[in-house]
Amino acid sequence: MLLLHLIVLSIYIIIVVVCMVDVLMENRQPVKTMAWLMVLTFAPILGMVLYFFFGQNTRKKRLISQRSIDQLDKHSMLGFVEQRHLHIPETYRTLIQLFTNQSLALPFKDNEVDIYTSGYDFFPALLADISAAQHHIHLDVYIFEDDALGRLVADALIHKALQGVEVRLIYDDVGCWQVPSSFFEHLREAGIDVHAFMPVKFPAFTSKVNYRNHRKLCVIDGTTAFIGGMNIARRYVQGRRNRPWRDTHLRIRGGAVYAVQRAFLLDWYFVDRTLITHRKYYPPITTAQNNCLAQVVTSSPIALWPDIMQGYVRILLEARHYVYIETPYFLPTEPILFAMRTAAIAGVDIKLMVPRKSDAKLVEWASTSYLREALEAGITICLYEDGFNHSKLLVCDDMLCTCGSTNVDFRSFENNFESNIFFYDRDMALRFKQIFITDLEHCTLIENVADLPHRNFGQRLWESVVRLLSPLL
């Protein structure tokens, strides 16, 4: 019996030591390294569980071969090269080059954009384009609910599949945990090619539970694309818990559709291990020539660098007049918070819009301490009062704007697979700015820490404790 105990203890010690060595060898920031070592030392069982599920660094793991990426890139590269009279604005040349160098996020001109600020506008447009599809429909969503709206979209996809249209669907396994498997099986039986992104099932329950595909993409016939913050669920139309739901989604026609298609096909290769590279998925651009320049930027925990976060940092530090941001969750990484503080102290007008009440109480508690820190630096906090604002957008200096799936939080910047479209165009920036100004009409502005609701010591202590969980929320 004593021998058995010694064997178990030895194995236990070896596992803890291996975890510690792994933490050290990843060469993270010293503060993060020390935190993990302390947890593994003083709470080894809990520490090992947390590290196994949430602490492993995936950025050095190449889950998609470079050769496959090159194959998927060739048509978007060809489309980029074929562009005539492509003008790169000097002000944002380095930002554009940053995205291009890191993940071959190529800039495309000749874009026509429709902006939807409610599900009442977005879903009829999506259903109309699905109905008009002739060749293929590619859909990539985080949530696809088995509710009235979800079944309506599912029926539209099934109808097109029965007509011979190629329909491919990627849904996130964790985002759709509550959706019965029979819902997706029904789609498969109708001829739709359906895949769950990183399925998390016992007994193979691993750290991948923490790395989710949060993108919301749709490409129809290679000529029309949708990108933004809306999933497929009734709450995006009717709201939730008697609260309206505000969101932003875009319909794109033009060169940027090539980039959205590339993003989808990379995800498709990830889930299906099938390379789809035929030119028919990249038909000739038919929109009129214009100077609406756009980049579709993706980020993921398996990329070498956090592309979108780095882009946000650069935008904030190079802004001259203003940066307006809408995000449903504000749990910023240290580089983002540093950049926001630096810009605000330098005199840039930084306005941050967040919902008065979040749909997740823990997130609301955790974000309070960050809001206090932002106020101390001179950032204006805009508390959205008219329901829940799930919109994710940024506009800067009447020249640059972005919208997509990325929240200003740890999970989006470091753990999730995300996608945003960046526009370098004055007209688009002014349209985004007007959306922000309209949303301001439903906000309470807080410019000083003293204007925050008073919290006693116990409340502030609890908020600080919950803040420690920010990377996991």
Percent of the chain scoring above 90 in pLDDT: 60
What does the block give as tokens for 27? 């060469």
Query: Is 427 a catalytic site residue?
Result: no
Q: Which of 172, 247, 397, 425 is catalytic?
A: 397
Per mean pLDDT, which range of 6-10, 216-220, 357-361, 365-369 is the poorest?
6-10
Q: Which of 392, 409, 425, 433 is catalytic?
A: 392
Q: List the domain boundaries for the chain.
A: 2-55, 66-92+107-290, 307-472
Query: Is 221 a catalytic site residue?
Result: yes
More confident residue, 49 or 268: 268
Q: Is 205's pLDDT higher than 50?
A: no
Q: Where are the alpha helices (DSSP H) in 304-380?
A: 307-318, 334-345, 361-376
pLDDT in tens, 390-427: 999 999 999 999 999 999 998 899 889 999 999 999 99
What does the block give as tokens for 364? 């609301």
Gap between the Cα atoms of 328 and 228, Å rounded: 13
Burial letters 356-370, b for 16+ CB under 10 A, else e: bebbeeebbbbbbbb
- 69-91 mean pLDDT: 68
Q: Which residues contact 291 (CB under 8 A, 6 or more apart)?
A: 87, 109, 425
Per the CATH hierarchy, to which homologous superfamily does domain 66-92+107-290 belong? Endonuclease Chain A (3.30.870.10)
Length of the chain: 473
Q: Which of 160, 214, 249, 351 is catalytic?
A: 214
Q: Which helix (H) or strand (E) holds 35?
A: helix 30-42
Contact 87, 107 (CB under 8 A): no
Calculate the alpha carbon distances from 370 to 3, 111, 381 in Å: 52, 37, 11
Q: Is 8's pLDDT higher than 80?
A: no
- 363-378 mean pLDDT: 84
pLDDT score recorded for residue 27: 58
pLDDT score recorded for residue 204: 46
Calculate the alpha carbon distances from 294 to 95, 254, 257, 287, 402 in Å: 12, 10, 10, 14, 9
Contact 428, 292 (CB under 8 A): yes
pLDDT in tens, 417-444: 999 999 999 999 999 999 999 999 999 9
- 122-135 mean pLDDT: 97
Q: Is 203's pLDDT higher than 90?
A: no
Query: Is 390 a catalytic site residue?
Result: yes
Q: Which helix (H) or strand (E) holds 115?
A: strand 112-116
Q: Assign 125 a pLDDT band (cuts: 50, 70, 90).
A: very high
Q: Which of 195, 208, 216, 249 is catalytic?
A: 216
CATH topology of domain 307-472: Endonuclease; Chain A (3.30.870)
Query: Is 216 a catalytic site residue?
Result: yes
418-424 and 443-446 strand pairing: unpaired
pLDDT score recorded for residue 118: 95
Q: Is 235's pLDDT higher than 70?
A: yes
220: phi > 0 → left, psi -120 to 50 → alpha, else beta; which?
A: beta
pTM of the predicted protein model = 0.87
Q: How many CB atoms lie within 10 A of CB 158?
A: 17
Helices and strands in the chain: count of H runs, count of E runs: 16, 20
Gap between the Cα atoms of 133 and 127, Å rounded: 10
Q: Assign 145 a pLDDT band (cuts: 50, 70, 90).
A: very high
Percent of the chain scoring above 70 in pLDDT: 75
Q: End-to-end alpha-carbon separation of the chain, Å?
A: 43
Calculate the alpha carbon distances from 292 to 113, 192, 252, 295, 422 in Å: 9, 34, 11, 10, 11
Q: Which of 110, 140, 172, 221 is catalytic?
A: 221
Calculate the alpha carbon distances from 227 to 61, 218, 222, 356 in Å: 27, 7, 14, 26
Is-same-fold flag (66-92+107-290; 307-472)? yes
pLDDT score recorded for residue 366: 77
Gap between the Cα atoms of 261 and 274, Å rounded: 15
- 11-20 mean pLDDT: 65
Query: Is 392 a catalytic site residue?
Result: yes
User: Degrees (nearest 5) of the Cα angle 366, 371, 375?
Assistant: 160
Per mean pLDDT, which range of 364-373, 382-391, 408-417 is the poorest?
364-373
Q: Which of 75, 109, 390, 433 is catalytic?
A: 390
Residue 392 DSSP code: -
Q: Is 470's pLDDT higher than 60?
A: no
- 99-105 mean pLDDT: 89
pLDDT score recorded for residue 418: 96
Q: Is 5's pLDDT higher than 70?
A: no
